[in-house]
Amino acid sequence: MKKLVKGNEAVVIGALVAGCDAYYGYPITPASEIAHAASEYFLPLGKVFVQAECEIGAINMVFGSASSGLRTLTASSGPGISLKMEGISYLAGAQLPCVIVDVQRVGPGLGNIGPEQSDYFQVVKGGGHGDYRTIVLAPASVEETYRMTIEAFDLADKWRTPVFLLTDATLGQMMEPIDVREVETNRVDKPWALDTDPESNDNLVTSIYLDFDDMEAHINRLHAKYAEITEQETQAEVYGSDDPQIVLTGYGITGRMLRSVVDDLAAKGIAAALVRPKTLWPFPSKIYQEIVKPGVPVLSVELSCGQFVEDVRLALPSHQVTHYGRVGGNLPQLDELVEQAEACLKGAN
């Protein structure tokens, strides 16, 4: 069934298809439609919906819900994600699966409600305290937002970890058709959970280990798991020439724009390729290294002054990587990006 929806509503539909049991959140522009749609769809289906008193309350409700084994969703934007960060650290430390959506808006501070990609450091590098990681998925369309939401719940359960879906104001507010259909999801048993089964009474969900050696062993177990995730779950789209003169890269909405830049450059006789990470963590470093040949320049585009580009440069330490960013809620135009690509290519010759 085709349904025309905003990206924010696609999150809720995807969550329901994935068998999400509960939503806890607080409205914030430009993510508010996620809470609105959850309030409309969840309760008639016998699901839990709670508008918490604040974002801090919401993320702690997520902790309790995930501890009981429920598939749990929350969503917010910039300032709200900041408020959730302590709770996200606790979720990661306790290895609790859940899905968290960040519809990025302009910052720092109150900023405005326009699109930006300036939460990259906060979400991908871990904005809470401690030595943890979370899986981060980055859709580039409403359909991909829908499908990645379903995938996020499976990944969360598979690895016992919080999973972020990182979108932005443009993807959240734009309307496109999605193909809603029943899909098989990998819902796993959770023998560690605290539920109504008396056999779970002895289960312990915690992130505190007062003995230093016990805590070190726990952190090392987490990072052994993160190494497995890195090997198994890295994803990226590669588009364009197999023998490019220039490689373009961006994620989310900017990655989507760069597909058109690749096509426009090809019409001008310039062979270009796009690498668009679908997972921001784990970062697809090996894919970059396979695609970007020696001497080929890279143009990295994002809606920030230079966050995503740091990981591109880490993946390609011996290559010329040029950053181009727009901020404040401004999106680059196609001609503007083509000009930047041509300038990048000219500067490398």
Domain boundaries, the chain: 2-232, 237-348
Torsion sign (Cα): 29, 34, 36, 37: positive
Per-residue model confidence as pLDDT tens digits over 229-242 = 999 999 999 999 99
Say if residue 297 is preceded by a cis peptide, omega within 30 of 0.
no
The position carrying tokens 């409309």 is 40
Q: Which of 191, 182, 5, 161 is nearest to 98 (CA)?
A: 161
Which neighbouring-strand residues pair with 279? 137
Question: What percent of the chain clears pLDDT 70, i.e. is strictly above it?
Answer: 99
The β-bridge relationship of strands 246-249 and 298-302 is parallel
Helices (H), 138-211: 142-159, 169-173
Place 198 in a pLDDT band, splitting at 50, 70 and 90.
confident
CATH superfamily of this structure's domain 2-232? Thiamin diphosphate (ThDP)-binding fold, Pyr/PP domains (3.40.50.970)
Whole-angstrom distance, CA of residue 155 vs CA of residue 153: 5
Confidence tier at 187 by pLDDT (50, 70, 90): confident
Residue 186: per-residue pLDDT: 84
Q: What is the pLDDT of residues 34-52, one digit of tens each?
A: 999 999 999 999 999 999 9
Per-residue tokens: 291: 């695609």
CATH assignment of 237-348? Answer: 3.40.50.920
Q: Residue 9 pLDDT more than 90?
A: yes
What global pTM score does this model have? 0.97
Q: What is the mean pLDDT of residues 5-15?
A: 98
Residue from 139, 171, 155, 307 nearest 226 by CA: 155
DSSP 3-state assignment of 175? strand
Amino acid at residue number 192:
W
Q: What is the pLDDT of residues 66-100, one digit of tens each?
A: 999 999 999 999 999 999 999 999 999 999 999 99
Phi, psi of 123 (to 5 degrees): -90, -45
